[in-house]
Structure 1
Amino acid sequence: MSNNQAWDDEYEVVVVGSGAAALAGAYSSARRGLKTLLVEKTNLLGGASAYSGASCWLPGTQVQQRADVEDSSESAKAYLKAVMGDHEVERREAFVDTAPELVEFFESDPAIEFYWTAFPDYFNAHESKPLGRSMMPVDLPREEIGELADLVRPLVEYDRYNQPHPEGPLTAGQALIGRLLLALTNTGNGTIQLETELVDLVTEDGRVTGAIVKDAEGIRRIHATEGVILGAGGFEANQDLRTVNGTPGNSGWTMAPAGANIGTAIRAGQKAGGAVEQLHQAWWCPGAAQPKGNAAFALGFRGGVWLDANGKRFANECLPYDQMGRVLAAAPERIPSWFIFDSRFGGQMPGIMRPFNTSPQEHLDAGTWVKADTLEELAAATGLPADALQASIERFNGFTVTGVDEDFHRGENPYDQFFADPEYGPGPTLIPVDQAPFYAARMVLSDLGTKGGLRTDVDARVLREDGTAIEGLYAVGNTSASFSGGFYPGPGTPLGSGMVFAYRAAQTLKAPAQAQSV
């Protein structure tokens, strides 16, 4: 688009998307006095962030200090080095160094408040914290946010089943989105447009100067005098892109909201000259197959065993969900696999599923679960080899007597024990599978979003193949390639890092002279 073409509207900053990273970028920009427009493709704000438990992995902050939790930026850096080696040292250290500043900035706004919550780091490595480094947003009473609450995407249990917002305060991911939304609105510098889709970016003389969007009235050209921040999620719901990029899993099994996260912003950034990387990566998790063909995020197993198509056990079932997802992706016979448990749990799966709306009977009626009086009958119902299934269960049951998992060391690290019930056996994560009737739940590979995307620097500026930055263009959250690469260091790494880099992006923008000092 040439310089002499007219714009339909003008802002200093245009933000695409409305998850935690996008809202953090919009709020950070607006609070600096910049006239900011946030556009969201769907009719609700929050994306997959609204579905989340809202743990935010932000080390060494005032939130940990208030809770008397021993942590520091130096400790977090040592932990990340132990986990990640030399991968992305510059960006990960910028993330850790900025986390305390981000939290102080956020909590200086009365609309935003966090509290520390125990949740172990995901690797039992040097300087890992058995109780973690994560924080969560304080629940947000509806009377504080008012009618804005209706703009926030409901929790996954309600959204996927087309249920209205529940009564009571906004919690978890809804609270995070609600608090950022309230803070953005209170700046007086933010405008939000729903059902407004990014079509393309406008580039002039190598600089991104605006966005072309489509809404109910048609195509509009929006001038962004200071910059465009892309925070519209990944491409997890686009099966064609998953196939081309060799991204394990399936678009039908992802946790992405309907109609979102198909890679539009990533492709727009590529068209503007941005390089991409890590497109085969995702924030993986086990998925419990659902009657409608989709999957529920599954974690926190405290009993049962996983068997592959050969009837063989293949992992520590208590692994952190991303690590378990990577184990699933490593061999075709593990997708689908079967999670075997017995009747001591009252017919309920001994783990956590999100969403959790589907009852055991609905699963049994649909065939996503099967039930049998003997292990031999269970093998017939699942199609697993009977001899292998029985041998796998017998071997595991032997470990429950000694309390030592000789095959996969289940129960030997803090994360394993976090969800365990100590009333069971000498090793509380090792509970026998020996009480009929027996159950088997069909499991697949799900994800919380792809984590490959536009290559960025420490300030979230989109980079070209030659490493130079595209002026005026930023990418955050899952629209950018994550600094963590093939690792998921701790609960809330996607949310924490997405917000930090969005904040850093906003600090590089030219603020008006009268802007509030931050």
Structure 2
Amino acid sequence: MTAQDQSQTQYDVIVVGSGAGAMTSAVFLADQGFSVLVLEKSDKFGGTSAISGGGIWIPNNHYFARLGGNDSMEQARRYLDAAAGDQVDPARLQAYLDNAPKMIEALTRCSRVRYAVAAKYPDYYPHLPGALPGGRTLDPELFDSSLLGAELDNLRKPSPSTLLMGRIAWTARDAHKAMARGFGWRLLILRLMLRYKLDFKWRRRSRFDRRAALGSSLVCSLRRSLMDRDVPLWLNSDFRELIMEQGRVSGVRIYREGRELALQARHGVILASGGFEQNQALREQYLPKPTRMAWSATPPGNNTGAALQAGLAQGAATALMDWAWWAPTIAVPGEDKPRGIFAERAFPGAIVVNGEGRRFVNEAAPYLEFVDAMHRDNARTGGGSVPAWVIFDGHFRFNYAMGPLMPAQVMPDSRLRPEWSDTLYWKADSLEALAGKIGVDAQGLASTVAKVNDYARTGVDLDFGRGGNVFDRYYGDCNIKPNPCLAPLRKGPYYAMRLDAGDIGTKGGLLTNAQAQVLREDGSVIAGLYAIGNCSASVMGTSYPGAGGTLGPAMTFAYVAANHLAAKRREVA
């Protein structure tokens, strides 16, 4: 950071947060001639985006079109109307559909960001009109992190669950091929391992791959793009409140280097600092019970609701406050946050049960719907589904991963950490003994397993339809017939792992209009204030239309906000 960066207190626009939405807005603002400052509360940049999959859900995108993909604005609108219903202002939905493809085309053209089509990754609700079996989700390409130089030390490190063997980068497309055990998956893993092992020079510097992937690739490429533009990013800068002058937001107050600073924003402030999932008091106030910030897969100490509270102090309206981007999580002893369980639930031979030993949801369902089902069944059973339990047998354990447990063929039980036994996983020679260990009804569990074993034989899940649509089958084992998501549980020993009602961020926040401006309760605009990402109420309502349904809108409305600020400046010029 230069001396000028440290002393300057006036900018055209101040961006609060350093995730994908925040840095995208800064790139577009800088390219339109604004002086921009990016503020980050923690000592690492990248926010929750850095530990995410990095995918973006962009209907009608140019990458898919170049491959001959068949999508359209009308088809995407039918799908979003069916998914979000009447929960979102139609003008906001249309603004997203209009600008998402423009955003990614412009960002690809002007920055270091590069994506590829996840051609086989389907929309999450394939039964709805307008859904596609692939093409709307874009997957980040690998990025050479050495291009960041010393700034790489300030990157929020990716979650171990997003790296092969906890250290090797791979794209979501590669991960899918390996997890679904598609043709050539073993050779793929061998190639990735050799690429890592043979990079001798880099491995002397770091145990992690030179290449960044997934969310780490996205934030690294955005950070390098800001460096190309000399846009300052201040770490350890805790946003406290908005400054209001003459009825408009004119700056922010932050706490930095042991003192409070007042920073002026001549044209506006963009709040992009995440949700409130790491604030237990706000969770208790808004989210369904029980709720624990310790269940969230987002970075502890961040996303504490500062933007929400600052907006509320200025009379901002909110929406969707009782919703989160739900995802079941598993707490791993010694790790600072739990791991989201996204793909493993679809693997054949694992089931999820409540305290009665009974299934209550299609295990392969989208993660938002999965945890919503946990909450609903928890209310029905009086507390029996939070936590829930994932159960699998020795055959599953040998062939598939579950959270931090790699397949036993590469990580046998003898190599597991001793402290994980009866804390991370529970193991017994019989289902009855396993049920006793975890406090689940043994008779109910035995009955459920017998029923699922019969479903595996016929290929039809008569209770929840698991494996009955293209989304379920995406992470199924393509070698298993007749249903890639169903296999019997017959081979001891048997295993259980606890699933908590976790999240990857909150969904509710400051209500905005189609220009990403924050609104008051009466519908009027708070002049000079914009909100994007998880500190704003989701444009998707209570739905999650596809992989990248969080970052896609965050980056799109970053583009919208930057363009709106530029248009406002031209009006007064």
Q: Normalising TM by the smaller chain, what interval?
A: over 0.9
Shift of 1:180: 1.2
Query: Separation in 1 of the partners of 2:487 and 2:292?
Result: 32
Bigger Cα displacement from structure 2, 272-281 vs 348-357: 348-357
> For residue 338 of structure 2, what is the aligned residue in structure 1?
295
1:273 to 309, 315, 325: 315
Query: Separation in 2 of the partners of 1:166 and 1:66?
Result: 34
Shift of 1:72: 2.1
Whether 1:139 and 2:142 are equivalent positions in the alignment is yes
SS of aligned partner of 1:227: strand
> For residue 237 of structure 1, what is the aligned residue in structure 2?
278
**What are the superposed Cα offsets for residues 226-279 of structure 1, whole Å, 9 maximum, x if unpaired?**
000000000101111100113453100111212211001110111122112211
2:387 to 329, 336, 344: 336
Is contact 2:339-2:403 (8 Å) kept? no
Is contact 1:297-1:353 (8 Å) kept? no
Query: Separation in 2 of the partners of 1:351 and 1:364?
Result: 13
> For residue 366 of structure 2, what is the aligned residue in structure 1?
320
> For residue 253 of structure 1, what is the aligned residue in structure 2?
295
Is contact 2:144-2:212 (8 Å) kept? yes
Name the aligned partner's letter for residue 121 of structure 1.
D
Query: Separation in 1 of the partners of 2:12 and 2:497?
Result: 51
Shift of 1:501: 0.7
SS of aligned partner of 1:63: helix
Query: Separation in 1 of the partners of 2:361 and 2:375?
Result: 12
Shift of 1:376: 1.2
SS of aligned partner of 1:399: helix
Distance 1:513 1:245, change over 3 A: closer
Name the aligned partner's letter for residue 311 of structure 2.
G
Whether 1:462 and 2:518 are equivalent positions in the alignment is yes
Name the aligned partner's letter for residue 50 of structure 2.
A
> For residue 78 of structure 1, what is the aligned residue in structure 2?
78
Bigger Cα displacement from structure 2, 103-112 vs 399-408: 103-112
Query: Separation in 2 of the partners of 1:290 and 1:362?
Result: 13
Whether 1:47 and 2:47 are equivalent positions in the alignment is yes
Is contact 2:27-2:226 (8 Å) kept? yes
Is contact 1:61-1:72 (8 Å) kept? no
Query: Separation in 2 of the partners of 1:133 and 1:389?
Result: 39
Is contact 2:351-2:390 (8 Å) kept? yes
**What are the superposed Cα offsets for residues 404-456 of structure 1, whole Å, 9 maximum, x if unpaired?**
10011011111110111132232121100111111111111110000111110
Query: Separation in 1 of the partners of 2:365 and 2:282?
Result: 28
Whether 1:401 and 2:457 are equivalent positions in the alignment is yes
Shift of 1:206: 1.5
Shift of 1:512: 11
Query: Separation in 2 of the partners of 1:355 and 1:470?
Result: 50
Is contact 1:299-1:352 (8 Å) kept? no
Is contact 1:315-1:327 (8 Å) kept? yes
Name the aligned partner's letter for residue 425 of structure 1.
K
* Matched ranges for 1:420-439 at <5 A: 420-439=476-495
SS of aligned partner of 2:421: helix
Distance 1:326 1:273, change over 3 A: same
Whether 1:218 and 2:259 are equivalent positions in the alignment is yes
> For residue 122 of structure 1, what is the aligned residue in structure 2?
124
> For residue 112 of structure 2, what is the aligned residue in structure 1?
111
SS of aligned partner of 1:13: strand
**What are the superposed Cα offsets for residues 120-161 of structure 1, whole Å, 9 maximum, x if unpaired?**
11002112111241112221113433333333211012999x
2:242 to 168, 181, 201: 201
Query: Separation in 2 of the partners of 1:377 and 1:217?
Result: 56
Query: Separation in 2 of the partners of 1:344 and 1:314?
Result: 23
Query: Separation in 2 of the partners of 1:343 and 1:450?
Result: 36
Query: Separation in 2 of the partners of 1:409 and 1:339?
Result: 18
Name the aligned partner's letter for residue 405 of structure 1.
D
Is contact 1:17-1:39 (8 Å) kept? yes
Name the aligned partner's letter for residue 275 of structure 1.
A
> For residue 282 of structure 1, what is the aligned residue in structure 2?
324
Whether 1:101 and 2:102 are equivalent positions in the alignment is yes
> For residue 151 of structure 1, what is the aligned residue in structure 2?
154
1:387 to 413, 420, 443: 443
Is contact 1:42-1:194 (8 Å) kept? yes
Shift of 1:355: 11
Query: Separation in 2 of the partners of 1:68 and 1:110?
Result: 25
Distance 1:490 1:360, change over 3 A: farther
Name the aligned partner's letter for residue 320 of structure 2.
Q
> For residue 509 of structure 2, what is the aligned residue in structure 1?
453
Query: Separation in 1 of the partners of 2:468 and 2:135?
Result: 17
**What are the superposed Cα offsets for residues 3-22 of structure 1, whole Å, 9 maximum, x if unpaired?**
xxxx9710000000011111
Distance 1:461 1:355, change over 3 A: farther
> For residue 501 of structure 1, what is the aligned residue in structure 2?
557
**What are the superposed Cα offsets for residues 377-430 of structure 1, whole Å, 9 maximum, x if unpaired?**
111111111111101110111111111100110111111101111322321211
SS of aligned partner of 1:333: coil
> For residue 28 of structure 1, what is the aligned residue in structure 2?
28
**What are the superposed Cα offsets for residues 296-343 of structure 1, whole Å, 9 maximum, x if unpaired?**
100222121111011111111111111111111212311111111000
SS of aligned partner of 1:236: coil
Please, what TM-score do these two structures have when normalized by structure 2? Answer: 0.84
Distance 1:362 1:270, change over 3 A: farther
Shift of 1:59: 1.1
Is contact 1:34-1:511 (8 Å) kept? no
> For residue 4 of structure 1, what is the aligned residue in structure 2?
none
Is contact 2:288-2:375 (8 Å) kept? no
Query: Separation in 1 of the partners of 2:314 and 2:8?
Result: 21
Name the aligned partner's letter for residue 22 of structure 1.
A
SS of aligned partner of 2:274: coil
Query: Separation in 2 of the partners of 1:475 and 1:513?
Result: 18
Name the aligned partner's letter for residue 198 of structure 1.
F
Is contact 2:61-2:136 (8 Å) kept? no
Distance 1:81 1:362, change over 3 A: farther
Name the aligned partner's letter for residue 133 of structure 2.
P
Query: Separation in 2 of the partners of 1:472 and 1:165?
Result: 45
**What are the superposed Cα offsets for residues 269-290 of structure 1, whole Å, 9 maximum, x if unpaired?**
1112211221111000111232
5+ residue gaps, structure 2, are 1-6, 168-205
SS of aligned partner of 1:311: coil
Bigger Cα displacement from structure 2, 349-358 vs 218-227: 349-358
> For residue 14 of structure 1, what is the aligned residue in structure 2?
14
Whether 1:444 and 2:486 are equivalent positions in the alignment is no
Distance 1:159 1:285, change over 3 A: closer
Name the aligned partner's letter for residue 417 of structure 1.
R
Larger proportion of helix: 2
Distance 1:191 1:419, change over 3 A: same
RMSD between superposed Cα atoms in Å: 2.5
Shift of 1:291: 2.7
Shift of 1:201: 0.7
Please, what TM-score do these two structures have when normalized by structure 1? Answer: 0.92
Distance 1:348 1:371, change over 3 A: farther
SS of aligned partner of 2:502: strand
Shift of 1:471: 0.5
Q: Aligned residues: percent identity?
A: 34
Moved over 4 A (4+): 162-165, 347-364, 511-514
* Matched ranges for 1:172-187 at <5 A: 172-187=214-229
SS of aligned partner of 2:514: coil
Is contact 1:154-1:165 (8 Å) kept? no
> For residue 305 of structure 1, what is the aligned residue in structure 2?
351
